Structure 1
Amino acid sequence: MDIVYRSIDPGSYQEAYAFNLFWEYSWRDSSAAYIADSEDERRAKTEALIANLSRADRKYHCLAAFVDGEMAGVISLDRMSIDKRPACHVQGLWVHPDHRGRGIARRLKQLSEDWAREMGSEFMDSNVRVDNPNMIALNEQLGYEVARLNFRKALR
């Protein structure tokens, strides 16, 4: 099994589209209430992703793991200011169920940290659902600590 890790190519519509599908799957996995995107929404998000990845300021960065040439996992990053300090936020991380347990998520996070350092970020920021013990454990193993708690109250 050959695993290749690299940035998403904004010049490849097909690759950007596949990345967006993986990112959509990450939201589906995290919420039973998630409503799948329409084909028009997927096309619009793909075009927005290509525009974001083509920005001169390199605010956004997307990496993928390819197993034998097929996309197997993705991570989406956004540089921003958090607490008035330069930071990098993990917008989404998802590995296809057929490829979990092979260290792909760990490697994607490590490569993301390398990129964030190169971009001048002082720290990484990531949100994890409380019902995702595997991702909580991975973050703790990689040295992440709880910085904030996100509370939610249903209003209906």
Structure 2
Amino acid sequence: MAAAWKTRPRLAMAIVYRPIDPQDPAEVHTFTLFCENSGRDSNEGHIPDSDDERRKKSGEIITQLTRDASKHHCLAAFDDGSMVGVIRLHMMTIDKLPACHIRALWVHPDHRGRGVATKLKELAETWARAMGSAFMDTNVRVANERMIALNTRMGYEVARLNFRKRLD
């Protein structure tokens, strides 16, 4: 009977949203792993990064955030101090207009359906507006119905289609 408490749902702490700290290598590493998961979640054929690739990507994030924070922004959601969701943004020019591209968005499965992705996207839009972006741009795999539905609810529209043909 003493173990019964383990089966009860944990009361959710207030989710805290904030930029990741480029001075905290462990936080950047976790952020990098979560970004990698954004590809894994939507593609069954995803090949995981090697430890060397993860270190390189973490280093790139640190460099981007410390050199030019007006072009790169990395937000995370934390529940009780643990990272539970991420969004990685990159300002660029698309169709000759300033645009904010969402490079990665991922929420831990235990926290899905709680509005974490929506809040991360809302915060991303606020940052993009402040940076002078004309629009947000994101890519979603055709099989990722939940993310397609979220984008549609938030007012995103299809701007172009990406076609792929396997050559093997």
TM-score by length of 1: 0.97
Q: Secondary structure at the match of 2:78?
A: strand
- Select between 107-116 and 124-133 the one with higher mean Cα deviation: 124-133
CA distance in 1, matches of 2:125, 2:43: 26
Spell out structure 1 runs of 4+ moving beyond 2 A: none
How many residues are treated as equivalent by the alignment? 156
Q: Secondary structure at the match of 1:54?
A: helix
CA distance in 1, matches of 2:49, 2:160: 30
Among candidates 102, 105, 121, match of residue 109 of structure 1: 121
Max Rg structure: 2
CA distance in 1, matches of 2:69, 2:108: 30
Unaligned runs of 5+ in 2: 1-12
Percent of aligned pairs sharing the same letter: 62
1:14 corresponds to: 26
Counterparts in 2 of 1:71-150, with a 5 A limit?
Answer: 71-150=83-162
Question: Once the two structures are superposed, what CA deviation does each residue of 1:61-120 show, in whole Å capped at 9, x if it has no partner?
Answer: 110000111000000001000000000000110000010000000000000000000000
- The AA in structure 2 aligned to 1:26 is S
Among candidates 61, 66, 70, match of residue 49 of structure 1: 61
TM-score by length of 2: 0.90
CA distance in 2, matches of 1:146, 1:41: 32
- Select between 72-81 and 53-62 the one with higher mean Cα deviation: 53-62
Give 1:57 deviation, angstroms.
5.3
Q: Secondary structure at the match of 1:46?
A: helix
Q: Secondary structure at the match of 2:67?
A: coil
